[in-house]
Amino acid sequence: MSPTPQSKSLPWDVVEKAIDKEIKWLKNTIPEASHKGESEICRDCIYRRIAVLTLSGKIKVKDIKSKNSLWGEGEKLSDIGKSHGREWHAKMMRLVSGYFQSLDYKIIVEPNLNMGRSDLGVYKENERNLYIEIGTISLPKLLFNLESMEGSDFLLVIDKTHAVEFSILKAGYKSHSI
C-alpha cells in the first residue's frame, strides 16, 4: 500500500529497512566501549534510537575518511600506530588538539557534557561547539548527548584516517541548569 497524497508517511517495511541499514552501519563503524553499570543496557535499542534520530533529520551524520591523516602531520603518523591503548589515545589527543589549535580554535580538555565529559571541546566565536571523542565511546552517553545538546557537533575520531561527525539539528529534549 503506498502513501496517499495527504499522508507523508512511508510504508512500515520501507522505514524498517532504512532503520536496519543505519543500525548495521552504526554497529560496524562506531568503536563502542562499555563501562561499569552498562552491562544491562539494550545496545540494539540505543543503535535504533540513533538511527531514528538520523532518519528523522534530528541529527546529521557524516562519515569522514582519508587515505592520509585527517589531522595533518603534527606528529609522526608512524609513531601513533593502530592500537587503541593509553599511549595511542594520548598521541591522538595531541595530534587532533594541535590541528584545531592551528586553525585558531580554543581547546578545552575534558569539558563537561550533559552526560559525562568528552576528550576535547573545540570552540570558536560564532561557530557550533564541537566535542571530540577519541577512540571508543559509551553508547548511552552518546545517545543522551545527541538527544539533548542541540546546536552542537560530536566528532568520533576512530583513527588517524577515519572520523564520524554527528551534527545535532533538533534535540529531543533540552537540559536546563538550575
Alpha helices of the chain — where are they, by DSSP H? 12-29, 43-55, 77-80, 86-102, 139-148
- Condensed to tens digits (0 to 9), the pLDDT of residues 63-111 reads 999 998 899 875 555 556 556 788 999 999 999 999 999 999 999 999 9
Residues 90, 86: Cα–Cα separation, whole Å: 6
134 and 155 Cβ atoms separated by less than 8 Å: no
- Does the reported pTM lie above 0.95? no
> Strand pairing of 120-123 and 106-109?
antiparallel
Give the largest Cα separation in the chain, rounded. 59
Phi, psi of 6 (to 5 degrees): -75, -25
Q: Which residue has the cell 543496557?
A: 41
Residues 153, 166: Cα–Cα separation, whole Å: 6
- Condensed to tens digits (0 to 9), the pLDDT of residues 106-164 reads 999 999 999 999 999 999 999 999 999 999 999 999 999 999 999 999 999 999 999 99
> Strand pairing of 32-33 and 59-65?
unpaired
Residues 85, 90: Cα–Cα separation, whole Å: 9
Q: Which residue has the cell 561547539?
A: 129
